[in-house]
Amino acid sequence: MLRPKTSHEICVTTDLSLEGTHFRRDWHPPESIGHRCLARGLSDLAAMGAEPVAVFLSLAVPRRLAADWVDRFLTGFLALAKKLRVPLAGGDTAESPSISQGRGGLIAADIVAVGQVPRGGAVLRSGARSGDIVYVTGTLGGAAAELLALSRYPRKFGKLTDALAGHPHLFPEPRVAVGRRLRELANAMIDVSDGLSTDLTHLCQSSGLAAVVEEAALPIHPLAAESRSVLELALHGGEDYELLFTASPQARIPRKMAEVPIHRIGVMRKASRGQRLVVLKSNDGRHISLEPVGWEHFR
């Protein structure tokens, strides 16, 4: 039985990691897949300003999958759980059915993450106000850049079994500590999982507003800076698991929280009929309508 602290309420999120969609067995080390599975759920809690209480894991694997793969998956999962002090409280396992004659099934991992916030204190996507400043933590584009490198040279990453810094795709860092501190400062918040263009659009839709983002203000990850498609990776790449939030111009937002840099990248404004919800102010002063072309299932 889970009980929140006195005068707190429960936040719950669930996230599915599916082989072939979110990871590939021949690309990703099992430790990375386990780490990423948990990080996805914890990042959702961080975006609500919630303190993690417990997580539940359901895992479906094919019959012929080596037991060592599952052990390594759990090693990556539990290492992050220990680091962020969140217990694995339960879950389930099942055999995934065969795809076709002679072929094994796919791996599926579902995480349910439970957190707590003071009653009425959860940060929602719908709380932004016209005139709010738009901020993002950390850097953008690194996860997408590393995924491109992984797709080209998968063997190069096969021995990365520990959550080392500098690997934003294989071992993302959910901003749990930052999210808790932003609970008192942010009006609206979402994590950058599907790409800045898509996630900021979600926030705008929920708040009934529009946003202007400045290209010059976007914090670029060093891995993305090496690419010819820097802006595309930063705007649409996704899986950075940074926190995208809005706050009043009067709010005192520090340059760093829990050792994580915070960057001012734009402003919220009233939405205009017939115009895109997100506009990019380019380095040469043009205003470019920004389509949400990050990741979306069923697109």
Output 89 or 158, whichever has higher pLDDT.
89
Residue among 193, 272, 289, 174 at smallest CA distance from 236: 193
Instruction: Kindly report whether the global pTM for this prediction surpasses the value 0.75.
Output: yes
Closest-CA residue to 289 (of 188, 197, 196): 197
Quote the CA–CA distance of 125 and 180 in Å, as a whole number. Answer: 15
- The tens digit of pLDDT for each residue in 274-285 reads 778 999 999 998
CATH architecture of the domain with residue range 125-289: Alpha-Beta Complex (3.90)
Taking alpha carbons only, the member of 180, 185, 184, 178 closest to residue 258 is: 178
- pLDDT confidence band for 137 (50 / 70 / 90): very high
Question: Tell me: the pLDDT tens digits for 40-53?
Answer: 999 999 999 999 99
Report the range out of 91-95, 121-125, 165-169 with the highest average pLDDT: 121-125
Q: Report residue 273's pLDDT band, with 50, 70 and 90 as the boundaries.
A: confident
How far is residue 50's CA from residue 143's CA, in Å, rounded to a whole number? 24
pLDDT at 100 over 80: no
CA 248 – CA 251 distance, rounded (Å): 5
Residue ranges per structural domain of the chain: 8-118, 125-289
> Do 142 and 274 form a contact (C-beta atoms < 8 A)?
no
- The mean pLDDT of 132-161, rounded to a whole number, is 90
Q: What sign has the CA pseudo-torsion 278, 282, 285, 291?
A: negative
Average pLDDT over every residue of 22-29: 90
Which pLDDT belongs to residue 297? 46
pLDDT tens sequence across 196-251: 999 999 999 999 999 999 999 999 999 999 888 999 999 999 899 999 999 999 99
Residue 288 pLDDT greater than 60, yes or no: yes
Please tell me the CATH code under which domain 8-118 is placed: 3.30.1330.10
Question: CA 13 to CA 55: how far, in whole Å?
Answer: 10
CA torsion sign for 206, 186, 288, 144 is negative
| Separation between Cα atoms, residue 115 and residue 47, nearest integer Å | 11
